[in-house]
């Protein structure tokens, strides 16, 4: 079945350093979504990418969707302590009403 | 955030006992989901619902059943809890619209001893 792989599983950075997490699907995706989960919290939707090669920015966060629509990345420029949490990518499965999540990348930021 | 309430927030139970977790939403969303979250596994779909009395299995449905008798309520039942079902359970909903984003509840921490 469709799998969504995410790397790295953990990332420790110093405040001010950049951070990138990568997401790869075994199949072509109609869209990909990104979520952030703060420690002890619940996942919160960040963004959805739909088009091949799409790039979207939210302040210091840059999201990319690959040309083949099988991979995606989230890049954070100059991390801050408020960026701490686990970042998940997710792709639709089957008819699209279901989402398959990657394993997540847990980001810690040392002040 | 969407109005999604999960109850209970925490529960400790013993192996072999039945457990029911409740998810209540006030957004009139059509789709509702139950996920479990375990270290190293991310979020895995247990069951989902695409309407009242319409449900389907997810990738880790064994040992779980669900019911949806009203749009706003989605129940997850562990008929006979096992220690492997110790986890954090999240309910999520999805409404209509171009952005098919999920809204998550605050989660239920379940410990099966």
Residue B28 CB partners (closer than 8 Å, separation 6+): B71, B72, B95
* pLDDT exceeds cutoff 90 at B40: no
Identify the domain containing residue A28 by its residue range. 4-110
Contact B41/A103, CB-based, under 8 Å? yes
CATH number of domain containing A76: 2.60.40.10
**A4, A43, A85, A94: best mutation site toward chain B, by most B Cβ within 10 Å?**
A43
* pLDDT exceeds cutoff 80 at A94: no
Contact A43/B43, CB-based, under 8 Å? yes
Contact B40/A48, CB-based, under 8 Å? no
- Split into its structural domains, chain A has a count of 1
Nearest chain A Cα distance for residue B53, angstroms: 16
pLDDT at B99: 72
pLDDT at A96: 62
Q: What is the 3-state secondary structure (H, E, C) of A16-84?
A: CCCEEEEEEECCCCCCEEEEEECCCCCCEEEEEECCCCCEEEECCEEEEECCCCCEEEEEECCCCHHHC
Confidence of residue A1 (pLDDT cuts 50, 70, 90): low
pLDDT at A2: 58
**Partner-chain residue, chosen from B41, B101, B105, that has the shortest CB–CB distance to A45:** B101
Q: Does A42 touch chain B (CB under 8 A)?
A: yes
pLDDT at A55: 98
pLDDT at B30: 92
Asked if residue B64 lies in contact with residue B76, where contact means CB atoms within 8 angstroms, the answer is yes
Higher pLDDT, B81 or B1: B81
Contact B59/A6, CB-based, under 8 Å? no
pLDDT at B1: 57
* pLDDT exceeds cutoff 80 at B107: yes
Count CB pairs under 8 A between chains A and B. Answer: 57
What are B52-81's pLDDT values in tens digits? 999 999 999 999 999 999 999 999 999 999
SS3 content of chain B, % helix, strand, coil (to 5): 5, 60, 40
What are A31-90's pLDDT values in tens digits? 999 999 999 999 999 999 999 999 999 999 999 999 999 999 999 999 999 999 999 999
Contact A97/B94, CB-based, under 8 Å? yes
Nearest chain A Cα distance for residue B80, angstroms: 26
pLDDT at A35: 98
d(CA A43, CA A58): 17
What are B81-98's pLDDT values in tens digits? 999 999 999 999 998 776
CA-only gyration radius of chain B, Å: 13
Instruction: Name the residue ranges covered by the structural domains of chain B.
Output: 4-112
**CATH number 1.10.357.10 is the correct assignment for the domain at B4-112:** no
Asked if residue B105 lies in contact with residue A48, where contact means CB atoms within 8 angstroms, the answer is no
Compute the average pLDDT of residues A84-107.
Answer: 90
Higher pLDDT, A10 or B39: A10
Chain B residues near residue A92 by CB distance under 8 angstroms: 100
Contact A42/B42, CB-based, under 8 Å? no
How crowded is the C-beta side of B79, counted as CA atoms within 13 Å?
7
What are B11-35's pLDDT values in tens digits? 999 999 999 999 999 999 999 999 9
């Amino acid at each position: 079945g469709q799998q969504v792989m995410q790397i790295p599983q953990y990332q420790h950075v110093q405040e001010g350093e950049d951070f990138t997490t990568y997401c790869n699907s075994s199949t072509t995706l109609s869209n990909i979504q990104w979520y952030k989960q703060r420690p002890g919290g619940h996942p919160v939707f960040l963004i959805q990418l739909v088009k091949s090669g799409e790039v979207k920015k939210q302040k210091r966060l840059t999201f990319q969707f690959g040309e083949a629509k099988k991979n995606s990345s989230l890049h954070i420029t100059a991390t801050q302590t408020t960026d701490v949490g686990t970042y998940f990518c997710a792709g639709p499965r089957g008819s699209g009403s279901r989402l398959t999540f990657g394993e997540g990348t847990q980001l810690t930021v040392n002040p | 955030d969407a109005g999604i309430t999960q109850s209970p927030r925490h529960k400790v139970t013993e192996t072999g006992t039945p457990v029911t977790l409740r998810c209540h939403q006030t957004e009139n969303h059509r789709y509702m989901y139950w996920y479990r979250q375990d270290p190293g596994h991310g979020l895995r779909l247990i069951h989902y619902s695409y309407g009242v009395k319409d449900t389907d299995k997810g990738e880790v449905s064994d040992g779980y059943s669900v019911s949806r008798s009203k749009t706003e309520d989605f129940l997850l039942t562990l008929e006979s809890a096992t220690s492997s079902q110790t986890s954090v359970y999240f309910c999520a909903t999805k409404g209509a619209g171009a952005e098919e984003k999920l809204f998550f509840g605050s989660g239920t921490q379940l410990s099966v001893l």
